[in-house]
Amino acid sequence: MKEKNRFYITTPIYYVNAEPHIGHAYTQITADVLARYHRMLGEDVFFLTGTDEHGNKIERASRDAGFGPGEEKKFVDGIVERFKAAWQKLDIEYDHFIRTTDPEHKSRVQDLLMKMKDRGDIYSGEYDGCYCTPCETFWTEKEASGGFCPECERPLEEIKEKNYFFRMSKYQNWLLEHLKKDPEFCMPEFRKNEVTGFLKEELNDLCISRPKSRMSWGIELPFDDEYVVYVWFDALINYLTGITASGRDLEEVWPADIHLIAKDILRHHAVYWPIMLKSAGYEMPGTVFAHGWWKMGDEKMSKSKGNIVDPLELTEEYGVDPVRYFLLKAISLGSDGLYTDEFMRTLYNNDLANDLGNLLNRTLTMVEKYFGSVAPEVPEISDDEQLKRSVVIKEALIPLSKKVHDKLTSPELQIKEALDEVLEVIDKANKYIERSAPWEYSKKGRTDVLKLIMMDLLEVLREVCVILSPVMPESMNEMWHQLGYEGNAADGFDASELSRKKTETDWRKVKPGLKVKKGKILFPRM
Ligand code: MSP
């Protein structure tokens, strides 16, 4: 049985025919932030990612790159390293990287196929229809508008041959019921409605084989050695193999809590996958979450269109954390995003350089100047005006971690909205400085008021630093050290706070005597 405090999150496994771009990075960073947050909650997290290495598309890419038949593995080995390097650079802390060419994967796929066959869910027949090689997807005459792929709009190939089919139609009503019974199975809700709509039409059985004579780069069918399995059938099963290949126990980790994907592969995850699992006797995953696309102009960013933004180049210019922050703050998960350099620069300057960076810098400069970089005792003060301002900040900060928690753990995965909450508090803290004008109190020699203001600001910075650490791990660790702490910002997280009412000591976490260390400017203005 799956243990309660487990959190299992997956990303798609990417085709290794192209370099990773910002679209792939977006899914990775989103999953990484959720995984990091759940680790902070003390959960036993399993974050799986990897590469999808079989099928027509990869075989062709391998040939194009000058590799002959039988040399596909050599070709993919080279590209996989580039994916791993990109994820390392972007600070993606996954727990296991699955490759569909891993030997464990082959046996898991064959095992599932046998289970499905034994249930009578696989039969042989004639396939006569359209196929999109770039998307590795079959389309019916009706869906294939004028011979073009409804997904990528490229020309379809006509295929007529003996193949094996998976009896999806048998499970159509069951899946409709499941979608009704489990409203969070497919998110966001408008995507679930799309899937439900799709399931109201007749569901065709799925062609799950390829004759080796046409395409041999795949996993052999366990019941017919003249065929390999359809690449999507192979790919989806990675979510099971990844668990055992990492040395974990399938029963303890499955089902996945979140399959994070983009909308282009919704049908594969919200229709094929649950039916495959049902047929083979596995539990259903918690949520298939389909986010939107990053676009350039009106088009989806993709290698084939040649309109990609290289995430690594962007990090050279801005640093890794600002890129992570930008992608998550720019759009709600589920919506499409329009990438422009201007958008990136503006968001960076506004949120990171001006709001957060400035708050940190101003505060540490003042604590240095007025108190020799040592956090002072909070005194009793009798300045009513200032006390009121202090209460406003306190009342904004105390509920922040719970608000952020509720957003990050909501079925909508409201990461952008959680960041909005944090930025609002940062904004309040900057206004607090302007309204309080500490420099005036300094001139008047009102050290008591100055102490209160500095301690309020340090309190805000500490909390914000901890909360932002899943999104910007490295910068928040640097900020944590500048605030005078050792270790990592995530260490400052107290999950127990979320389930109880906060008290006065939760508010004064920064203790007098803490020695702050103003360091380099975290987010220099661009
Ligand atoms: N190999 C399949 C997935 C198999 S999962 C069992 C595949 N690979 S892919 O390389 O094409 O990656 C698709 C995924 O990459 C999308 O679902 C999304 O996560 C990410 N993205 C690729 N381009 C994207 C954008 N332009 N915008 C946002 N995400 C994008 O499909």
What spacing in Å lies between the alpha carbon of 20 and ligand 1's midpoint? 10
Secondary structure string (H, E, C) spanning 365-376: HHHHHHHCCECC
Predicted local confidence at residue 112, as pLDDT:
97
Asked if residue 23 has its Cβ within 6 Å of ligand 1, the reply is yes
Q: Is the pLDDT of residue 28 over 90?
A: yes
Asked if residue 236 has its Cβ within 6 Å of ligand 1, the reply is yes
Smallest CA separation from ligand 1 atom 18, residue: 262
- pLDDT band for position 79 (50/70/90)? very high
Predicted local confidence at residue 503, as pLDDT:
79
Predicted local confidence at residue 384, as pLDDT:
86
Predicted local confidence at residue 372, as pLDDT:
98
Q: Which residues pair with 155 in a beta bridge?
A: 148
Torsion sign across C-alpha atoms 408, 32, 320, 362: positive
Per the CB < 8 A criterion, the answer to whether 337 and 23 are in contact is no
Secondary structure string (H, E, C) spanning 114-174: HHHHHCCCEEEEEEEEEEECCCCEEECCCCCHHHECCCCCCECEEEEEEEEEECCHHHHHH
Q: 404-433, pLDDT tens digit by residue?
A: 999 999 999 999 999 999 999 999 999 999
| Residues near 12 by beta carbon (within 8 Å), at least 6 away in sequence | 27, 52, 260, 261, 262, 265
Predicted local confidence at residue 249, as pLDDT:
96
Cα–Cα dist 387/398, whole Å: 16
DSSP H or E stretch at residue 8: strand 6-15
Asked if residue 12 has its Cβ within 6 Å of ligand 1, the reply is yes
Asked if residue 301 has its Cβ within 6 Å of ligand 1, the reply is yes
Residue 228, helix vs strand vs coil: strand
Cα–Cα dist 265/288, whole Å: 10
Tokens 């939107």 belong to: 292
Asked if residue 27 has its Cβ within 6 Å of ligand 1, the reply is yes
Q: 392-407, pLDDT tens digit by residue?
A: 999 999 999 999 999 9
Burial class (CB in 10 A: 0-12, 13-18, 19+), 429: buried
Residue-level length of the chain: 526
Q: Which residues pair with 10 in a beta bridge?
A: 48, 259
| Residues near 260 by beta carbon (within 8 Å), at least 6 away in sequence | 9, 10, 11, 12, 27, 30, 31, 34, 289, 291
Predicted local confidence at residue 131, as pLDDT:
86
The first and second tokens of residue 368, run together, are: 């240095």
Q: 332-344, pLDDT tens digit by residue?
A: 999 999 999 999 9
What spacing in Å lies between the alpha carbon of 188 and ligand 1's midpoint? 17
Asked if residue 289 has its Cβ within 6 Å of ligand 1, the reply is no
Cα–Cα dist 361/363, whole Å: 5
Smallest CA separation from ligand 1 atom 30, residue: 23
DSSP H or E stretch at residue 224: strand 224-229
Cα–Cα dist 166/221, whole Å: 13
Work out the angle at residue 276's Cα, subtended by the Cα atoms of residues 411 and 191, and round it to the nearest 5 degrees: 35
Asked if residue 265 has its Cβ within 6 Å of ligand 1, the reply is yes
What spacing in Å lies between the alpha carbon of 261 and ligand 1's midpoint? 7
Query: Taking the CA atoms of the chain, what radius of gyration do you get in angstroms?
Result: 26
Q: What number does the ligand 1 atom closest to the CA of 18 have?
A: 10
Higher pLDDT, residue 199 or 501: 199
* Amino acid in the structure at residue 438: P
Task: Count how many Cα atoms sit within 13 Å of the Cα of residue 53 in the half-sphere of its side chain.
Answer: 25
Asked if residue 20 has its Cβ within 6 Å of ligand 1, the reply is no
Q: Is the pLDDT of residue 303 over 80?
A: no
- Looking at residue 213, the DSSP 8-state letter turns out to be T
> Which percentage of the chain shows pLDDT scores above 90?
85
What spacing in Å lies between the alpha carbon of 155 and ligand 1's midpoint? 20
Per the CB < 8 A criterion, the answer to whether 376 and 455 are in contact is yes
Higher pLDDT, residue 312 or 88: 88
Asked if residue 337 has its Cβ within 6 Å of ligand 1, the reply is no
| Residue to mutate (ligand 1; options 87, 265, 307; most atoms within 8 A of CB) | 265
Smallest CA separation from ligand 1 atom 29, residue: 23
What spacing in Å lies between the alpha carbon of 426 and ligand 1's midpoint? 34
Average pLDDT over residues 228-251: 97
What spacing in Å lies between the alpha carbon of 262 and ligand 1's midpoint? 6
What spacing in Å lies between the alpha carbon of 14 and ligand 1's midpoint? 6
The first and second tokens of residue 366, run together, are: 């003042």
Q: 46-76, pLDDT tens digit by residue?
A: 999 999 999 988 999 999 999 999 999 999 9
What spacing in Å lies between the alpha carbon of 293 and ligand 1's midpoint? 9
Cα–Cα dist 29/295, whole Å: 17
Any idea which of 7-11, 374-378, 504-508, 511-515 has the lowest mean pLDDT? 504-508
Q: What number does the ligand 1 atom closest to the CA of 238 have?
A: 6
What spacing in Å lies between the alpha carbon of 415 and ligand 1's midpoint? 20
Asked if residue 294 has its Cβ within 6 Å of ligand 1, the reply is yes
What spacing in Å lies between the alpha carbon of 30 and ligand 1's midpoint? 13
CB 260: neighbour CB atoms within 10 A?
24
Predicted local confidence at residue 138, as pLDDT:
78
What spacing in Å lies between the alpha carbon of 161 and ligand 1's midpoint? 29
Q: What number does the ligand 1 atom closest to the CA of 11 have?
A: 19
Predicted local confidence at residue 151, as pLDDT:
79
- pLDDT band for position 298 (50/70/90)? confident
Average pLDDT over residues 3-23: 91
Cα–Cα dist 508/378, whole Å: 9
Compute the mean pLDDT over every residue in the chain, rounded to the nearest whole number.
95
Per the CB < 8 A criterion, the answer to whether 22 and 339 are in contact is yes
Cα–Cα dist 471/90, whole Å: 11
Residue 519, helix vs strand vs coil: coil
Q: 477-496, pLDDT tens digit by residue?
A: 999 999 999 999 999 999 99
Smallest CA separation from ligand 1 atom 17, residue: 262
* Amino acid in the structure at residue 324: R
Q: pTM of whole model > 0.75?
A: yes
Task: Provide φ and ψ at 69, rounded to 5°.
Answer: -60, 140
Taking phi over 0 as left and psi of -120 to 50 as alpha, with beta for the rest, 329 belongs to alpha
Per the CB < 8 A criterion, the answer to whether 511 and 473 are in contact is no
Smallest CA separation from ligand 1 atom 24, residue: 23
Work out the angle at residue 174's Cα, subtended by the Cα atoms of residues 120 and 260, and round it to the nearest 5 degrees: 100
CB 371: neighbour CB atoms within 10 A?
17
Q: 101-155, pLDDT tens digit by residue?
A: 999 999 999 999 999 999 999 999 988 888 888 877 778 777 887 888 887 888 9
